[in-house]
Structure 1
Amino acid sequence: MHERVNPTPPRTEAAGGRVAALDRARTFITLSVVLYHSAINYTYFGQGGDRMHWLGFDLVALFNDSYFMSCMFFISGLFVPASLERRGASGYLGRRALRLGVPYIVSIFVIMPIAYYRYYVAEDQFTTVWWRMISEGPWPSGSAWFLGVLLIFDFVAALAWAFAPQLIDVLGRWAGNLLRAPLTGFLVFLVIANAAYLPPHLGFGDGLWFMPGHFPLPLQASRALLYPAFFIAGIAIGAAGLRSGPFAQESALVQPWAIWFGLSYGCYGMILLLAYAHHNWIADFESPPLWWRAAYGSAVASFCASMAFGVPTFFLRWARAPLALMDRMQPSAYGIYLLHFLPLLWLQYLVFDPAWPAAVKFAIVLVGTLAVSWGAAALLRRVPLVARII
């Protein structure tokens, strides 16, 4: 578990031992989330609610939705071993409760009710709608569901550390040895991703969500095993050492970053081909045959796996590239994730009636959402207590 720390940290390291390239990767995923939510309202085949559509937004939404949350869980897992070693199980859980639990509570009781009130603004007063959400449901979680699920994963990881600390060490040694041959390691990861995704995907489909009562902690049934699998894979690679292990800047896993992206775009091409076949060649659209569902599920799982390698290794390989805007956004990225649903839904509401082209509405929603949520997050971070949390 103990890493070999170089006397002179590479430029990928920020103050406090942070890996700046991985911070960029997390910021990129946050931008992907905002991009997806800004585009989804203007899709043909997605959840578009606006009458103005453009097929290009279906491609954007499908691309992002197919990979970004599994990649987020993977990247989150990378930092677990070092945090546990530094803080211990109880200190780690306390920190995660502050960083995840408090924003989750604020999100489901304040941010999301205000955001989703835009659907009820013509029907009733906010306080009446708020109480109905809390007491009867539906109680929307928006993007906050990720915080609740990640907190559960962190709790399990802390328990494992407390009662079987050697388990994470074993995962780290296994990952370190396996990824000395990156293609072999990727094939193993590919098998794990497919094994975690295909059975629930075939059994439940992609439309079912698990939710305890009407409490806002939903989890997509088809990804109920995929997310913990990616989180554990991140823990394993993190336990091998972020500075001297598979994700070291000059490692054999990072150098072929273009291969991982090439594989990911090949998998995405397969997703598009299968989606085209579904809409044009399969007679029963509502009940596609088993071969199609299996092929589509495998393409999605493989896309997730290749992007989980591709995104972090890209930013690690090009850590010295000037990305000034992303670096300025990085301190507020978590706040943007937490806050973006509020301006997003109200901007969608404000541009709903005009018969403007979908691209114009999308641009207004995307730019406005980023500007408002980034500005609000930056202002909130000026409060010392809030800065500790977000």
Structure 2
Amino acid sequence: MITMSHSATVGADVHAAPKAKARNLSLDRARTFLTLVVLLHHAVIPYTYFGHTDPTSWIGFDIVVLATDSFFMAMFFFLSGLFTWPGIARKAPSVFLRDRLLRLGLPFAIAALTVIPLAYYAIALRQNPELTFAAFWWKTVTVGPWPSGPVWFVWVLLAFDLTASLLYRVSVHLVDPINRVSLRGFERPVVFWLILVVITTIVYVPALLYFGGNRWFEFGPFSVQASRILLYFAYFFIGVSVGAANFDHGILGADGQLPKSRWPWVVATLIPYCLMWGMIYIKREILGNPDIQPHWYQAIYGTLFVLFSAAILLAILAFFLHSKAPGPNLLDRMQADAYGMFLVHYPIALWLQYALFDYEWPAIMKAAIGFVLTVLLSWGVTAALRKIPGASHVL
């Protein structure tokens, strides 16, 4: 329970003039860690049951991919929203729009025209070794399909940021209810978790039942998974609300209960995760692995999905908030380049998989080589790109 003195203190400055926030070491590390999770996800997915595009596979990678796919993009949106509200408040609408277009719109346009076609060319060559890149690129941008790969996140985040800017102009108080829940979460994280679960269940499960899990909205390089778009916006807006005011006195306060209760959150993560595997067993062994699952199955699986996503979000953040290591560690050194690594890693990962395809090596060896080289090469490419004058303002 929050004491009266604490409540009075935090309630007094909810709408105080925003100040520029100093970098939060714990959140920076969590964001960089999440970038490495994305690289790991794309390094191992060819060697799984889910995305079996290589002759070898290993069940351990299925365990990894089920977990990562069930939370990492939602967590990215949550972290991206944390400092959005104060940022909007400090800038004129035109300045905020210009900054977001520079930081998100320009990288997306460049990546959609270069990085992503280069990545998918590796897959096309497997089917047609005589295909030239020029011919593949022209067909991609004129006829399609024009997949966006992982950079779909960038244009969706831009859309969310612009939506948040409009909502701020409607009323600065829109974030107040969830911000108050965040304040309660300082001492009772489970309250915040419950609200997160309720909101995300409401926006995700009906969408999953209506669209199914495989449908994507697509228009040229602009694509997003139909059943998850509202889920992602919910995570983003909840992040916006948490970061709107009184950050250090909310759910992510370093002195709050969340970092002190990190191990129970691990248990809360493992329970729905194991039950998700139980549902996958039912789908494959009892239902015959149908392309379209019954609604009862999707409703149960979707509920477990949001329970897991919310729990692992808090579990990961709890461990990073608890860590007092001053650094600089590997994550600190990588932090400035993490966004660029996210943007450029995909063709590196796919071309490494293309190069390793014909080797009769164990899946673990291929994935390990692919992951390590993807990290090193994408880090090196980003560091080199950031030396171009003005590039550091974008990457």
TM-score, scaled to structure 1:
0.91
Q: In the TM superposition, what whole-angstrom CA distance separates every residue of 1:82-138 from its partner, at most 9, and x where no partner exists?
A: 211222433222211111111101100011111211123423221221111001101
Within 5 A, what are the aligned runs for 1:122-201? Answer: 122-169=129-176, 171-177=178-184, 180-201=187-208
2:84 aligned residue: 80
Give the distance between the partners of 1:280 and 1:131, measured in 2 at CA. 44
Shift of 1:388: 1.1
* Kept in 2: contact 1:27–1:326 (CA 8 A): yes
Stretch moving more, 135-144 or 272-281: 272-281
1:10 aligned residue: none
TM-score, scaled to structure 2:
0.90
Give the distance between the partners of 1:33 and 1:52, measured in 2 at CA. 21
1:296 aligns with 2:298: no
When residues 240 and 176 of structure 1 are mapped into structure 2, their CA distance, relative to the original with a 3 A threshold, is farther
When residues 201 and 350 of structure 1 are mapped into structure 2, their CA distance, relative to the original with a 3 A threshold, is same
SS of aligned partner of 1:383: coil
1:339 aligned residue: 344
* Kept in 1: contact 2:78–2:236 (CA 8 A): yes
2:123 aligned residue: 119
Give the distance between the partners of 1:291 and 1:118, measured in 2 at CA. 39
1:49 aligned residue: 53
SS of aligned partner of 2:214: coil
Q: In the TM superposition, what whole-angstrom CA distance separates every residue of 1:223-264 from its partner, at most 9, and x where no partner exists?
A: 121001111110111113323333121023443233323211
Shift of 1:323: 6.6
Give the distance between the partners of 1:168 and 1:294, measured in 2 at CA. 29
2:10 aligned residue: none
Shift of 1:193: 1.4
Stretch moving more, 335-344 or 158-167: 158-167
Q: How many residues align?
A: 379
2:280 aligned residue: 275
* Kept in 2: contact 1:255–1:317 (CA 8 A): yes
1:109 aligned residue: 113
1:355 aligns with 2:360: yes
1:99 aligned residue: 103
Report the RMSD for the aligned CA atoms in angstroms. Answer: 2.2
Shift of 1:313: 2.5
Stretch moving more, 180-189 or 162-171: 162-171
Give the distance between the partners of 1:153 and 1:227, measured in 2 at CA. 9
1:383 aligned residue: 388
SS of aligned partner of 2:249: coil
* Kept in 1: contact 2:205–2:302 (CA 8 A): yes
Give the distance between the partners of 1:40 and 1:258, measured in 2 at CA. 28
Shift of 1:289: 3.6
Give the distance between the partners of 2:28 and 2:260, measured in 1 at CA. 19
1:38 aligned residue: 43
Give the distance between the partners of 2:155 and 2:114, measured in 1 at CA. 15
Give ranges in structure 1 of 5+ residues lacking alignment. 7-14
In structure 1, which of residues 298, 320, 325 is the aligned counterpart of residue 325 of structure 2?
320
1:9 aligned residue: none
Within 5 A, what are the aligned runs for 1:253-264? Answer: 253-264=258-269
Give ranges in structure 2 of 5+ residues lacking alignment. 1-13
When residues 3 and 186 of structure 1 are mapped into structure 2, their CA distance, relative to the original with a 3 A threshold, is farther
* Kept in 1: contact 2:184–2:251 (CA 8 A): no
Q: In the TM superposition, what whole-angstrom CA distance separates every residue of 1:40-71 from its partner, at most 9, and x where no partner exists?
A: 11112x12211111111111111101110011
Give the distance between the partners of 2:349 and 2:144, measured in 1 at CA. 22
* Kept in 2: contact 1:173–1:240 (CA 8 A): no
When residues 289 and 298 of structure 1 are mapped into structure 2, their CA distance, relative to the original with a 3 A threshold, is same
1:59 aligns with 2:63: yes
1:207 aligns with 2:225: no
Shift of 1:286: 3.6
SS of aligned partner of 2:116: helix
SS of aligned partner of 2:319: helix
When residues 107 and 183 of structure 1 are mapped into structure 2, their CA distance, relative to the original with a 3 A threshold, is same
Give the distance between the partners of 2:282 and 2:202, measured in 1 at CA. 24
When residues 243 and 89 of structure 1 are mapped into structure 2, their CA distance, relative to the original with a 3 A threshold, is farther
* Kept in 2: contact 1:5–1:243 (CA 8 A): no
When residues 147 and 58 of structure 1 are mapped into structure 2, their CA distance, relative to the original with a 3 A threshold, is same
In structure 2, which of residues 68, 73, 76 is the aligned counterpart of residue 69 of structure 1?
73
Give the distance between the partners of 2:289 and 2:71, measured in 1 at CA. 27
SS of aligned partner of 1:370: helix
Shift of 1:5: 10
* Kept in 1: contact 2:212–2:292 (CA 8 A): no
Give the distance between the partners of 1:284 and 1:110, measured in 2 at CA. 37
